[in-house]
């Protein structure tokens, strides 16, 4: 039987949908550099650090920027992004998320956040969810970005649980890779065709029954146990 003691959530696209604000800010910066990219290409930036996101955009546009100027560019993008998230409120919480967090609290399941976003604490405060999380590991606390499992392993460590006792909720392919690499149960939130390598995929948190989810994960893990 699964012995789940903690759930660790990604932020963007899982708790709130800030991907749209990232897209607007990154595209604005890219356009200033004479580059453009689509929303489909933007999917590749999910769960990726600022520095790596900039590298990808420059690569798409075939543009070279000196390393010493890159931090200035990512800072500028972040300022534009902050303009958007400072206007966020509880209405931006994705459907079903708060109910699940309430259920986890009632069951005594520890709750953590593992996100590449250095703005994670601010966003959680803006939408009124900050106090639900016993630990928040963001991009400023790790040296390796997803798909490296560092962010989730630190989250488990700070929560005082083993990786195998954690469920990670992720909407990005690299995030699922990170959870699996850390020896955790991975639940993809989004499309099966993108996240199908997770242990289980849900379209969203609407009508999600945590106990049923545990039963499904138990069934999927049983062949491995045997």
pLDDT, tens only, 180-189: 999 999 999 9
Q: How far is CA 5 from CA 162, 166, 195, in A?
A: 9, 6, 24
pTM above 0.95, yes or no: no
Q: Domain tally for the chain? A: 2
**What's the whole-number mean pLDDT along residues 145-157?**
96
Q: Tokens 């989004």 label which residue? A: 190
**52 plus 163 within the same structural domain:** no
**Summary mean pLDDT of the chain:** 94
Asked whether residue 63 is domain-assigned, the answer is yes
Q: Are 149 and 182 in contact (CB under 8 A)?
A: yes
Range of the domain at 39: 19-85
**139 plus 209 within the same structural domain:** yes
* Residue 224, pLDDT above cutoff 60: no
Residue 142 neighbours by CB distance under 10 Å: 20
Residues marked as catalytic: 10, 12
Specify the 3-state DSSP secondary structure of 185: strand
Residue 89 is predicted with a pLDDT of 95
pLDDT, tens only, 81-111: 999 999 999 999 999 999 999 999 999 999 9
pLDDT, tens only, 103-138: 999 999 999 999 988 889 999 999 999 999 999 999
Tell which residue, 100, 174, 89, has the closest CA to residue 132: 100
Tell which residue, 114, 108, 103, 92, has the closest CA to residue 8: 114
* Residue 226, pLDDT above cutoff 60: no
Asked whether residue 1 is domain-assigned, the answer is no
Specify the 3-state DSSP secondary structure of 173: helix
* Residue 73, pLDDT above cutoff 70: yes
Q: Are 196 and 35 in contact (CB under 8 A)?
A: no
The whole-angstrom separation of Cα 94 and Cα 58 is 31
Q: Are 172 and 192 in contact (CB under 8 A)?
A: no
**150 plus 181 within the same structural domain:** yes
Asked whether residue 34 is domain-assigned, the answer is yes
Q: Cis check for the bond before 147: say yes or no (omega within 30 of 0).
A: yes
Among residues 58, 85, 112, the one where a domain terminates is 85
CATH number at residue 196: 3.40.50.1000
Q: How confident is the model at residue 139 (pLDDT cuts 50, 70, 90)?
A: confident
The whole-angstrom separation of Cα 219 and Cα 133 is 28
Residue 113 is predicted with a pLDDT of 98
**208 plus 105 within the same structural domain:** yes
Tell which residue, 168, 135, 142, 186, has the closest CA to residue 50: 142
**111 plus 221 within the same structural domain:** yes
**133 plus 49 within the same structural domain:** no
Residue 223 is predicted with a pLDDT of 61
Structure tokens at 112: 């953590």
Q: Are 41 and 60 in contact (CB under 8 A)?
A: yes
Radius of gyration of the chain (CA): 18
Q: How far is CA 208 from CA 17, 26, 64, 99, 178, in A?
A: 18, 33, 46, 9, 23
Asked whether residue 90 is domain-assigned, the answer is no
**214 plus 122 within the same structural domain:** yes
Tell which residue, 5, 12, 220, has the closest CA to residue 113: 12
Report residue 124 CA to chain centroid gap: 13
């Amino acid at each position: 039987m699964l012995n789940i003691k903690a759930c660790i959530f990604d932020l963007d696209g899982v708790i709130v949908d800030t991907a749209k604000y990232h897209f607007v800010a990154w595209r604005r910066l890219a356009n200033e550099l004479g580059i453009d990219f689509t929303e489909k290409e933007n999917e590749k930036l999910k769960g990726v650090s600022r520095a790596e996101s900039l590298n990808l955009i420059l690569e798409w546009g075939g543009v070279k920027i000196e390393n010493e100027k890159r931090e200035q560019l990512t800072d500028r993008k972040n300022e534009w992004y902050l303009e958007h998230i400072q206007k966020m409120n509880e209405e931006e919480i994705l459907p079903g998320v708060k109910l699940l967090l309430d259920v986890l609290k009632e069951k005594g399941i520890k709750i953590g956040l593992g996100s590449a976003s250095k703005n994670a604490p601010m966003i959680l405060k803006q939408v009124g969810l900050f106090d639900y999380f016993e630990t928040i590991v963001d991009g400023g606390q790790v040296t390796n970005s997803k798909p490296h499992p560092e962010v989730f392993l630190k989250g488990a460590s700070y929560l005082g649980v083993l990786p195998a006792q954690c469920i990670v909720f992720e909407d990005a392919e690299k995030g699922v890779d990170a959870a699996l690499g850390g020896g955790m149960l991975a639940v993809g939130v989004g499309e099966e065709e993108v996240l199908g390598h997770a242990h289980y995929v849900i379209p969203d948190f609407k009508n999600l029954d945590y106990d049923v989810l545990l039963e499904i994960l138990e069934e999927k893990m049983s062949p491995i146990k045997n």
